[in-house]
Structure 1
Amino acid sequence: MKMSQLNNRSEDAAKADKITGAAATLSFHEVGYKVQVGNCCRKIANVILRDVSGVFEPGLNAIMGPTGGGKTSLLDLLAGRRESEGLQGDILFNGKTLPSDFKLISGYVTQDDIIMGTLTVRENLQFAANMRLRNCSKEEKLERVNEIIQDLGLDKCQHTKVGTVMIQGVSGGEKKRCNIGIELVTKPQVLFLDEPTTGLDASTSHSVMNLLRDLTVQGNRTIVFSIHQPRYSIFRLFDRLHLLSSHGQTVFHGPASQAVDYFARHNLVCETYNNPADFFLDVITQNSESSDLKINLSDSVVPIIETCNSNGKAAQIDLPALFKTSPENRLMKKVCFEILDHRTISDNCRSLGYPINWFSQFFYLSQRSIRNLLREKQRSIVPSASMAILALVVGSLYLDVATDLNGFQNLFGALFFVSIQMLFGNVPAIQAFITGRNIFLHESANGFYRVSAYFVATVFCDLLPLRTVPSLVFGTIFYWIIGLKFNLKLFAFFHLTNIVTTMSACSLAFFISVASGSSTVANALLAVIFVIMMLFSGLILNVSSMPVALSWLQYTSISRFCLVAHAGAQISDLEFCGYRTIIRNGTAHEDYFCEPGKELLRLQDINYDTASQWLNVGFLLIYTVTFFTLAYLSLRMVRKNK
């Protein structure tokens, strides 16, 4: 292939270009990128990429370089998946600046397979089709899924679950192809892949890369990917190659088939049976240190003419500077200048928007969440089962609580236990937004759905089956086993208070989990908060005897509102009677006493009237709405890009 053919594609890709029409060209011009590292007091700019330029056209476009050389950073910047802060230079798509909805017309496959493991291969592809295909009927979406399954060779495993830690699923190669298929649903003009062969054996890696090669020919696609050190059978599939140094500088950009000849012209020859990819990384790594350090090239590198320093030893070669003076760089710069001369601004006002409306997004997200829940038996059954067992065991301690003089303490303690259980029993709610966090970040960045649709669907599918149902199970068993009032209205109010308390506790758990992003941190914070709420509930310490400076904390206690509502409904019109021994004139007497429940509640600083009961439920609702809102806003502020 001649040097003047830098921007030509392979013969197969060129034929496809004629068939399918205009091709997608991605160009980057003098791109620099740096990030701020360090603490808030002292930050240092860490330069990742330096003056990187190139043009990627239909075919397989590989970004190679040593670890830490900026391969993934460059890939993310080209895909618009990284924050623009610290970015210099221009990135153009078909001669235009990247449109705001570029994520909707491109695909991005992450290095780690981010996919719902409890769903089958077909179900994952169908979900992507339902979410991402616009103006298509149900039949057309199904046809598209069938087409992808056929093209990617997923026929045999289409009804097999992808797999999780607890569920045996498809192989690594099939999972990778499923991930690629999800991005191919929209027939993107550009497909990005981060280390597509990571975690795969040699045979599977070759199969995946052959698949990508076929996709470039069939669909005239521009496929850009980072890759570390592929074997030769994979390397020879590449159309274009961009080599980066250890310091994020361009070492070579051009047709992959010309890379070996380029290095040979500069006195670095790859041996006949050596893998070119290994050879390139050897050269780059061994010439990446400072110029005052001396190296000895490995056997795979045979310098024809040695450049010697004053000591007569082989000196390092400045590979980036060498490329800047090469004909390959001049030709590449010429193509880049031509693109820049004709650049235009993308019409961001005409954004494509989401393919389907909010309610459809909510429906498909809820459908997926429910399927996921039903297939994780332990997760769906354990909450209700554990609540039932706990209600039976603890309820037996308070079996048919009597209204004697000790009855108030027992009954008040039982209701306190209910309020505490509605708190600590919902600590697992923190997992709702943590277990699926990676999937959410990936799908949201790829334009699958709105944040609000995901938030409402996740809350709905977690709060109803995993929190509300167990609360009802616990409340029903506990209510009758301890012998609370046989009154339908009070029974309904008991459940209503428990459900609202559950929602309040879950809203706080959701907020902390979303804001922290870590189950460890969220567990620790939530445990501390719930213990403080328990202390200010009014049983362990009487509210009236609390220090004035801390007494306001009772109004932040979810369990306090729950306990007060329950106590007012169940105790206010009771009388606790029995014999009590008193000393009168030095003689012990057994006298019969009755203590009104209202008076006992007043001593606990509890307002027992009906209005106060509903007021406490109202406070819990305000608590719920407040923290659901904060959780949603926190989710919106989570960085989708790197």
Structure 2
Amino acid sequence: MSSRLSLNNTNKSPSVSPPLNVSSLNLEAGHSVLFENKTISKLQWTNISVSVRARKNHERAQLLKSCSAQVVAGNLLALMGPSGSGKTTLLNVLAGRSHITFKGTIEVNDQEVSGTMIRRISSFVQQADTHLGGLTVEESIYFTSCLANPSMTKDEMKLRNDEVIEALGLRAQLKTLVSSPFRKSLSGGQMRRLSLATALITGPKILLLDEPTSGLDSAASFEVMSFISRFAKRYGLIVIASIHQPSTSTLELFDSVMLISGGQTCYFGPRTNLVPYFSRSHLIPLYCNPAEFLLELVNIDFCSDGKKAQEVEAIVREWQILADREVVSHTDRRRGLTLPFAKTNKVSTSYAFWILLRRNVVKSYRDPLVYGSRAAMNIALAFVIGTVWLRLPYEQSSIQPTINCLFFSSAFMGLMAVAYAPAIIEDIKLLQTEHANRLYTPLPFMIANLAIGVPWLVMVALSFSIATYWLTGLFNDSAAFGVFTMWLFVDLLAAESMIVLVAAIVPHFITALALASFANGLWLAVGGFLVPKNILNVFWRYAFHYIDFQTYVFQGMMVNQFRKSIYRCSDLKDGQHFCMFPSDLAAEGKIEGTAILDAYGYDYGPNTWAKWLGLSLAIVLMHRVVGLGMLYWRVRQL
């Protein structure tokens, strides 16, 4: 076979269904509404190079070096290479991820495009499936469709959703939860197909897939890639997928292949020319999977000497010589043009908030990790507290146990908020994925998260109060009961806001759990109960005591309980009394509750509670605002 292989046959676009005009759609005729009427015929990248500076020696490591290729509408390109060869880095570049700095050009329809432009017309499906566990397949697709297509009518949206569901074989799983510890959930292959469905439902022109068959057996891999291939052919999508050791049948679904090693191109061209090209210089066993053989051929990770590296360098040079002869350089490039085919529908903050709020409502009552488990544990411990501190009499011996009861109740609420970490981390990971695909920003996400939390936390605080307040015999007054419930709610709201902040800083469960536990321990230590404020170390008092939300919650509970209470002193012989806290009623053998508050240094003026409430809500706002800033920083790293 001649060494001069033609690469230009990848420029020939396959026969694809013509794009459809949504505005002139006849819904009753059953026409497709999957994409807009503009089409993209070609994606091309030229001399893409990426290097990063190593932390230890500060030398630059080359992740990609002069990678060039092109894909036409309806074609599937397989990115193949050993682990660490640069496949995911190249996908990040093509996806317009802002944290990647590269040299070279990316063109769509022979127009150079920026990262912002490429994100408007593409969807990136990452290797890890990211979905909300409390939603069904149907709900996951529906809410994504709402966020992606705000101007589409219900009929058009339903037709689009049904088309994607049918094409990806998810009809039988519509009512199945994505994941659940108590009910049937999706398999690995079904999760992959759902990830593809939520990407396709946004109407991309370019679909980027990072290891779409990861974790699947050969049959499931072939099934998933078959769906993608049919979609690409039917709708003229450009599909680029990194794939690791595909089976022979799966590899045959691709139109072209790009084989890279150490960030350098070893081959790019038609899939049908892959084996003949390498057969010229290497003997490929007859019954061997060509993909496995080639990956082993260009893998230099496990070679102990430089011989294998030299062989790979020779393969790279040989390919570069051929590519320089065959590939025509495009010199007539137009720069800085606005793509006429880019999506223009922009989701407003209010609309995104409304959709996210509806999605949060579904998740909140269906996923036990959101509020159900916490509500159950809070109610259970409320009965424990109520029976351990059962009907404490208003005697001097009950003063300290009552204070301990208030402290334990407020502290427990803050500690139990840690249980919210898995749910909010799951939400943040989905936010990162959906923001990268330009569906919404962190602002409506944060507002929706706060809005759904308020009614649930009110119910949790009320249920705890009902089970605890009257059993323990706290101050018998309906208004005092309401104030006690209010402080529990504020405690819950502040603690949950702190967890949101922690998760925004470190969206990894174990790390977030450790950091949140440390923060809770810190708040308990400096809150003013274990060590009174007037003797607390100056550093801890001014650095942390005044920004501790539990400080104000506990003080509010203390004032609510003791401001109008009167306790009996201990009786001694000869009619004498022993009063732990001196007050004006000591001669009568009684202790005014205000004397207890004076001993702790708590102000109980008529408007003091309002100041404490304002400070507590200010801390909640601070947690949310800083958390929002961290989310914006995090999504911009993608």
TM-score w.r.t. the length of structure 1 is 0.86
Q: Which amino acid aligns with 2:416?
A: G
Contact 1:60/1:216 (8 A) holds in 2: yes
Contact 1:191/1:223 (8 A) holds in 2: yes
In structure 2, do the counterparts of structure 1 residues 294 and 546 end up closer, same or farther at CA, with 3 Å as the change threshold? closer
User: Which residue is equivalent to 2:30?
Assistant: none
Contact 2:369/2:422 (8 A) holds in 1: no
- Identity within the alignment, %: 24
User: Which residue is equivalent to 1:299?
Assistant: none
Equivalent-residue separation in structure 2 for 1:378 and 1:518 (angstroms): 16
Equivalent-residue separation in structure 1 for 2:384 and 2:211 (angstroms): 53
User: Which residue is equivalent to 2:413?
Assistant: 422
Contact 1:568/1:610 (8 A) holds in 2: no
User: Which residue is equivalent to 1:250?
Assistant: 265
User: Which residue is equivalent to 2:28?
Assistant: none
Q: Out of 367-376 and 609-618, give the one that drifted further.
A: 367-376
Q: Which amino acid aligns with 1:468?
A: V
Question: Are 1:15 and 2:15 matched, yes or no?
Answer: yes
Q: Which amino acid aligns with 2:507?
A: G
Contact 2:39/2:205 (8 A) holds in 1: no
Matches within 5 A, 1:292-441: 292-293=306-307, 318-326=314-322, 328-332=323-327, 334=328, 337-338=329-330, 340-347=331-338, 352=343, 355-377=346-368, 380-441=371-432
Contact 2:18/2:235 (8 A) holds in 1: no
Structure 1 position 592, deviation (Å):
5.3
Stretches of structure 1 that go unaligned for 5 or more consecutive residues are: 296-313
- Secondary structure, in 3 states, of the residue corresponding to 1:8? helix
Equivalent-residue separation in structure 1 for 2:606 and 2:624 (angstroms): 27
Structure 1 position 250, deviation (Å):
0.9
Equivalent-residue separation in structure 2 for 1:293 and 1:239 (angstroms): 32
Structure label with greater radius of gyration: 1
Stretches of structure 2 that go unaligned for 5 or more consecutive residues are: 21-37, 577-585
Contact 2:148/2:439 (8 A) holds in 1: yes
User: Which residue is equivalent to 1:596?
Assistant: 592
Equivalent-residue separation in structure 2 for 1:389 and 1:452 (angstroms): 35
Contact 1:413/1:539 (8 A) holds in 2: no
Structure 1 position 420, deviation (Å):
1.9
User: Which residue is equivalent to 2:138?
Assistant: 122
Structure 1 position 569, deviation (Å):
2.7
- Secondary structure, in 3 states, of the residue corresponding to 2:602? coil
User: Which residue is equivalent to 2:485?
Assistant: 495
Equivalent-residue separation in structure 2 for 1:379 and 1:507 (angstroms): 14
Equivalent-residue separation in structure 2 for 1:555 and 1:570 (angstroms): 22
User: Which residue is equivalent to 1:30?
Assistant: 47
User: Which residue is equivalent to 2:293?
Assistant: 279
Q: Deviations over 1:91-111 (max 9, x none)?
A: 222222334142232122222
Structure 1 position 271, deviation (Å):
4.1
Q: Which amino acid aligns with 2:474?
A: L
Contact 2:125/2:199 (8 A) holds in 1: yes
Q: Deviations over 1:549-593 (max 9, x none)?
A: 4443432332221222222232123332334438999xxxx9852
User: Which residue is equivalent to 1:479?
Assistant: 469
2:610 to 608, 614, 617: 614
Structure 1 position 34, deviation (Å):
1.5
Equivalent-residue separation in structure 2 for 1:350 and 1:285 (angstroms): 40
Contact 1:27/1:55 (8 A) holds in 2: yes
In structure 2, do the counterparts of structure 1 residues 629 and 380 end up closer, same or farther at CA, with 3 Å as the change threshold? closer
Contact 2:567/2:593 (8 A) holds in 1: yes
Q: Deviations over 1:352-382 (max 9, x none)?
A: 5654332332222222222223333465433
Q: Deviations over 1:355-410 (max 9, x none)?
A: 43323322222222222233334654332232222222222333333332334333
Q: Which amino acid aligns with 2:492?
A: T
Question: Are 1:514 and 2:504 matched, yes or no?
Answer: yes
Superposed CA RMSD: 3.2
In structure 2, do the counterparts of structure 1 residues 351 and 317 end up closer, same or farther at CA, with 3 Å as the change threshold? closer
User: Which residue is equivalent to 1:445?
Assistant: 436
Structure 1 position 33, deviation (Å):
0.7
Contact 2:207/2:238 (8 A) holds in 1: yes
Equivalent-residue separation in structure 1 for 2:590 and 2:509 (angstroms): 50
- Secondary structure, in 3 states, of the residue corresponding to 1:38? coil
In structure 2, do the counterparts of structure 1 residues 161 and 76 end up closer, same or farther at CA, with 3 Å as the change threshold? same
| Count of aligned residue pairs for this structure pair | 608
Q: Out of 28-37 and 391-400, give the one that drifted further.
A: 391-400
Q: Deviations over 1:79-134 (max 9, x none)?
A: 2236233x111122222233414223212222222223432222222122111124
Structure 1 position 605, deviation (Å):
0.8
Q: Which amino acid aligns with 1:14?
A: P
1:571 to 562, 568, 581: 562
Contact 2:300/2:308 (8 A) holds in 1: no
- Secondary structure, in 3 states, of the residue corresponding to 1:159? coil
Contact 1:131/1:355 (8 A) holds in 2: no
Q: Deviations over 1:496-521 (max 9, x none)?
A: 22212222222222212211223323
TM-score w.r.t. the length of structure 2 is 0.87
Equivalent-residue separation in structure 2 for 1:205 and 1:442 (angstroms): 23
Question: Are 1:626 and 2:622 matched, yes or no?
Answer: yes
Contact 2:19/2:235 (8 A) holds in 1: no
Q: Deviations over 1:234-289 (max 9, x none)?
A: 222322211112x1111111222122232234x22434443332332233237996
